Amino acid sequence: MLIKKLKGFSLIELLVGILIASIVSVSVYSLFDRSSKDFSQTVNTNDLKTESTIIFNLIERDLARGGFVHPVRGDLTIASNCIAGGIGITAANAINIVSGTEVSSCYDRPSYDGTTAYRYKVTYKLGDGTAGLLDTNTLYKKIERTDDCTGGDTVADVDPNLASTIHPWQPVTSNIGSITFSYPTIGGSTNSSILDIDINFVSQKQNSLNLDFRKRVFLRNKSLTGSSVNCDNKCPNSKDIFANYTISSNETNWDPDTRNVPSATVVISTNYQNGEDILQWNSTLANNYGLTVTFNATTGVLSIVGNTTARNYETFLRTVNYVSLQNTISSRTVFAGTDRQFILVLGFGTLCNNLIGRQVGAVRHFYCYVADNMSGRGALTGVDDTDGLSGNTLWWGQAKLRAENSTYYNLSGYLASITSAAENNYILAKIRDANNIPIAAWFGGTDNQGGEAVLNAASELTWVWSGGPERNQIFYTHDGVNNDGFTNWRTGEPNNCCIDTLGDLYNGNTLEANEHFPTVGGEHYTQFSNVIKGTGYWNDLFDPGVTYSPFTTLGYVLEFSSNFPSPTITCSNASVSNRLACVNYFSSFNLVLDDTTYTSPDMVNLCDPTPTDNALPPKSS
C-alpha cells in the first residue's frame, strides 16, 4: 500500500521527499581560532540553504580580510612588527585564486594586547584526492603563519596563540558537488574587487539530487595594497600634510567650482633642512589641471602656477606630501616642540606668484618680491641731482604707492615692515629673484614724512615704518642709545649720504597721484643691499635709487598681514571683500618627526621606499 501511494506523488514531490530523507541533521562544531573563533566545520545538514549561509559567511569573513595591514605596524619600537622586504601586502597576495577550486587570503591579526601584529594565510580548497584532501566532495581549509603570504616561509617571531590558530587541511563541509571561485565580469570587464563563490550541494544519499548557490563577496581590503610603514629603517618617513585642506569655509558665498585660483605656494617655514626635507606632489593631477609645479631645494618652497578652478587646487594641494631623505631615523634633525612647520598660501589675481606665508602667534603674514624695472621713472646714475636717470626702475615712493594699492583677498598691502631678526632672515631665506639669488629690494622704512601726516613721527635720523599695522612706529633713532627695535644696517649705515641731492629737483619728473616724495635731499629710504656687500643688510638710499652696484634696486618686498586692516573683514555675503574672506588662503601644519610612540596625529605615518623619485608613497591601509 505504501508503494502505491508513492507512485501517486508528482515528480517534484518525490524529489523533495528523497532530498529530505537523504540528508541527516546538521552538526556544526567550531575549531578554536584564537579569540575570533572564525573556523567552522559543517559535516552535514538537513537544510541546504542554512548550510550554504554558514559556509558562505565563513568564507566571506576570511576573504574580506585579505590585504589588511594592521596599523600597529607603524610602531617600529616593536621589532616583531617589521618584516624583511616591507610589510605591504600586494593585491595578488591579498586574494589569490590559485584555481577555480582553490582560493587564499593573507592578512594581519593583532596580538591579544594589541601591541604587535602577526600575519596569516587562509586557504580554501575542494578535495582532489591527494594527501590531506582525499574526499573530492569535501571543502577543506588550512591556516598558516607567514610573513610573505606564501605560507612556505620561515617566520622569526612566535605568536603566543600560534598552536591554537594554525592547522593543516581540515574539512569544512562535505556533500559538495562542485565549487568555483571567480571574479565577475561587470560592464564588459573583470572586477577583481568582488569574488563570486558558486557551490553545488549534493545529497549524500543520491548524487543526482543537487542545488546550486552563489555568494558575491566584496573584497574591501584588497585594494589597500600599501601600508603605513615598510619597516626598512627609514620608515615612517612621509606625511600627507594637507590631506584635509578645505579651500572655502562657505561654498555658498565663495564657490570653489566657479572661482579660479592662479597659483599657490607651500613653504617649509620652520626648521627647513636642505638635503633632508623635500615636498612631493601628484604629477598626474598637475598635468591634468595645467599646473606647473617646482620645488626649490635652496629655499624649501614649492611653487604651483596655473589658472584653474579652486576645486582643482583643493584636490591637488591635498596630494602635497612631505618626505624625509634621512634614512636613519635617529639621525634626523629634530627640535624641541615642532620639528617642521608647513604653510600653504593661495595666489590672488595678478599678484606675484611667489607669495609665501609666515605665522607669528595668531598673526599671519604674507610676503612676495615684486620685480619691476619697467613701470618706474628710473634710477640716478650718480649721487648728484644733476645726474641723469636711467632705465625704468621704481622710486621708493612709487613702490610704496603700488604696495598700498595691492589687495590680497580681504587684506591690504604695504611695503614690508621688518620687526625681528627672524622676519628679516625668513624673507631673505625664502624669497629669491628670477636667478634664484637673494633680492635687492625696497622695503618700508623711512626717516622722512614726505608731507604725509600719518608719518609725523618720522624726522631726520628717526626712522619709522611707513605702512601696515606698524605704520608710524619708530624702529631706529640715530642717537647712540640702545633703545631701538630690530635693525640690520650695513656697517656705517644709515649715513644720509650726499644731502645735496635735493629731492624736489629729480629732473623735474611729475609725481603720480598720492606718491610719497621727500621734503629734503639725502638718503631716507630702506633697501636690502644685494649679495655683493652682504645678504640681508640694510642701506639707506635716495628716493629714485641708483643704477650702480651694490645698491641697484629692481623691485620691492610686498607684505600683507591678517591684522591689517583692522578690524578684520570677516566671511559673509555682504560685499566682495566679505566673500573673499571666506577663502582659506592660508593653512599650516606642524609636523613631528621624533615621536617614537607613533601616537601623535601630526607624526610622519607613511613610507616612501624611494623618496627621491618624486612618486607619492602608498597610502596607509
pLDDT in tens, 168-187: 999 998 889 899 999 999 88
- At 408, is the pLDDT very low, low, confident or very high (cuts 50, 70, 90)? very high
Residues 385 and 264 in one domain: no
Would 262 be classed as within a structural domain? yes
Would 358 be classed as within a structural domain? no
Residues 527 and 600 in one domain: no
Residues 398 and 478 in one domain: yes
Per-residue b or e along 29-41, where b marks 16 or more CB atoms closer than 10 Å to that residue's CB = eebebbeeebbbb
- At 27, is the pLDDT very low, low, confident or very high (cuts 50, 70, 90)? very low
Count CB atoms within 10 A of the CB of residue 163.
Answer: 10
> Cα separation of 12 and 135, whole Å?
30
Q: 1 pLDDT exceeds 70?
A: no
User: In 3D, which of 272, 556, 606 has the Cα closest to residue 393?
Assistant: 556
Count CB atoms within 10 A of the CB of residue 120.
Answer: 23
Residues 65 and 204 in one domain: yes
pTM of the model: 0.67
Please name the residues in contact with 57: beta carbons below 8 A apart, sequence gap of 6 or more.
Answer: none
Residues 24 and 119 in one domain: yes
SS3 assignment, position 396: helix
pLDDT at 162: 86
Q: CA geometry: angle at 79 spanning 75 and 85, to 5°? A: 90
DSSP code string of 412-442: E-EE----SHHHHHHHHHH---TTSS----E
Q: CA geometry: angle at 182 spanning 124 and 59, to 5°? A: 35
pLDDT at 4: 39
Would 595 be classed as within a structural domain? yes
Cα distance from N-terminal residue to C-terminal residue, the chain: 69
Residues 339 and 375 in one domain: no
Q: CA geometry: angle at 239 spanning 235 and 245, to 5°? A: 170
Domain with 72, as residue range(s), is: 11-218
Residues 409 and 261 in one domain: no
> Which set of grid coordinates corresponds to residue 570?
570677516
pLDDT at 535: 63
> Cα separation of 127 and 410, whole Å?
73
Q: What is the mean pLDDT of residues 581-587?
A: 97
Count CB atoms within 10 A of the CB of residue 301.
Answer: 23
Q: CA geometry: angle at 359 spanning 357 and 364, to 5°? A: 75
- Write down the number of H helices and E strands in the chain: 10, 33
Q: CA of 283: how far to CAs of 42, 294, 607, in Å?
A: 53, 11, 19
Amino acid, res. 40: S
Would 579 be classed as within a structural domain? no
Q: How many domains does the chain have?
A: 3
Higher confidence at residue 87 or residue 485? 485
Among 35-49, 84-98, 107-121, the least confident range: 35-49
> Which set of grid coordinates corresponds to residue 71?
596599523
- At 382, is the pLDDT very low, low, confident or very high (cuts 50, 70, 90)? confident
- Domain end call among 189, 218, 247: 218
pLDDT in tens, 270-315: 999 999 999 999 999 999 999 999 999 999 999 999 999 999 999 9
> Cα separation of 526 and 416, whole Å?
10
Q: What is the mean pLDDT of the chain?
A: 83
Residues 450 and 520 in one domain: yes
The answer to whether the CB of 4 falls within 8 A of the CB of 136 is no
* Residue found by looking up cell 501511494 in the block: 5
Per-residue b or e along 549-585, where b marks 16 or more CB atoms closer than 10 Å to that residue's CB = eebbbbbbbbbbbbebeeeebebeeeeebbbbbbbbb
> Cα separation of 201 and 55, whole Å?
11
Residues 440 and 536 in one domain: yes
- At 189, is the pLDDT very low, low, confident or very high (cuts 50, 70, 90)? confident
> Which set of grid coordinates corresponds to residue 118?
602577526
Residues 129 and 258 in one domain: no
Q: 19 pLDDT exceeds 60?
A: no
pLDDT at 349: 92
- Residues β-bridged to residue 268: 342
pLDDT at 605: 79
- CATH number where 545 lies: 3.10.100.10
Q: CA of 424: how far to CAs of 419, 421, 430, 537, in Å?
A: 8, 5, 10, 9
Would 112 be classed as within a structural domain? yes
- Domain end call among 162, 183, 218: 218
> Cα separation of 605 and 165, whole Å?
30
> Cα separation of 563 and 271, whole Å?
25
User: In 3D, which of 242, 238, 234 has the Cα closest to residue 322?
Assistant: 238
DSSP state of 459: B
Torsion of CA 266, 270, 275, 278, to 10 degrees: -30
Q: What is the mean pLDDT of residues 90-110?
A: 90
Would 142 be classed as within a structural domain? yes
The answer to whether the CB of 202 falls within 8 A of the CB of 177 is yes
pLDDT at 32: 29
pLDDT at 16: 47
Q: CA of 577: how far to CAs of 105, 404, 407, 617, in Å?
A: 57, 16, 10, 39
Residues 257 and 298 in one domain: yes
pLDDT in tens, 34-83: 333 333 444 444 555 677 788 888 999 999 888 887 766 655 555 566 65
Residues 177 and 247 in one domain: no
pLDDT at 156: 63
Among 140-154, 226-240, 327-341, 379-393, the least confident range: 226-240
> Cα separation of 491 and 538, whole Å?
9
Would 359 be classed as within a structural domain? no
The answer to whether the CB of 182 falls within 8 A of the CB of 101 is no
